[in-house]
A and B are shown apart, each in its own frame.
Chain A
Amino acid sequence: GENVEQHPSTLSVQEGDSAVIKCTYSDSASNYFPWYKQELGKRPQLIIDIRSNVGEKKDQRIAVTLNKTAKHFSLHITETQPEDSAVYFCAASREAAGNKLTFGGGTRVLVKP
């Protein structure tokens, strides 16, 4: 089955700096890669996703890049703000019945004012 590794496990940045979280996956057939943000005590919420036919996607201050050859994808947050402090999860799945997501271990991001 799919295995997703996520690094780093914790990340501390100064407000205004950029944050980068990296994930690798094992199943070359995976073709959908979402990112979720989980604030303390809350449910995970989808913030951005990318499909295998696209190399990069942006949404305001966040962007995701995908390298299918190397089987890794990354989340980039620019101009970080205190409200970006949360746990971020990457995930991967393939187009198939069930389409179950396999999640990485999560990255706790702390943005220091």
Chain B
Amino acid sequence: NAGVTQTPKFQVLKTGQSMTLQCAQDMNHNSMYWYRQDPGMGLRLIYYSASEGTTDKGEVPNGYNVSRLNKREFSLRLESAAPSQTSVYFCASSDRPSLYGYTFGSGTRLTVV
């Protein structure tokens, strides 16, 4: 039982390049989330998907797009990477966040140069 799997674990991009961060969960959870973590700023929500087929913006969506491919997979795309997007990205999932909280993936450390 892998839980939440994120790929890749590390990535270096040049400014203007694009990439997709992949996230998959095997717990049959309805809700999935993408957060970014920056020093001193906690975890900030980028996008979330309350259920398969729906996506909504979070606190910091600019520069990102998402796709809820199916119930298991939720990807995050950077179309034109900027140095301000250097961060650690966490995917999370939950069935009932108000009852069980989130399960986080192991994170992707992204550096944009």
Could you tell me which A residues sit within 8 Å of B by CB distance? 1, 4, 6, 9, 31-32, 34, 36, 42-46, 49, 51, 89, 93-95, 97-106
Q: For the complex, is B53 an interface residue (Cβ under 8 Å from A)?
A: no
Distance in angstroms between the alpha carbons of A55 and B55 in the assembled complex: 34
How many residues of B sit at the interface, in one of the four size bands? Answer: 20 to 34
Query: Which of B48, B50, B101, B104: most chain A Cβ within 10 A?
Result: B101
Distance in angstroms between the alpha carbons of A96 and B31 in the assembled complex: 12
A contact face: mostly helix, strand, loop, or mixed = loop
State whether B98 touches A100 (Cβ < 8 A). no
Could you tell me which B residues sit within 8 Å of A by CB distance? 31, 33, 35, 40-45, 48, 50-51, 56, 58-59, 90, 94, 96-98, 101-102, 104-107
State whether A99 touches B104 (Cβ < 8 A). no
Distance in angstroms between the alpha carbons of A49 and B31 in the assembled complex: 19
Distance in angstroms between the alpha carbons of A103 and B102 in the assembled complex: 12
Distance in angstroms between the alpha carbons of A108 and B95 in the assembled complex: 29
One of A32, A34, A43, A100 near B105 (C-beta < 8 A): A43
One of A32, A44, A95 near B43 (C-beta < 8 A): A44
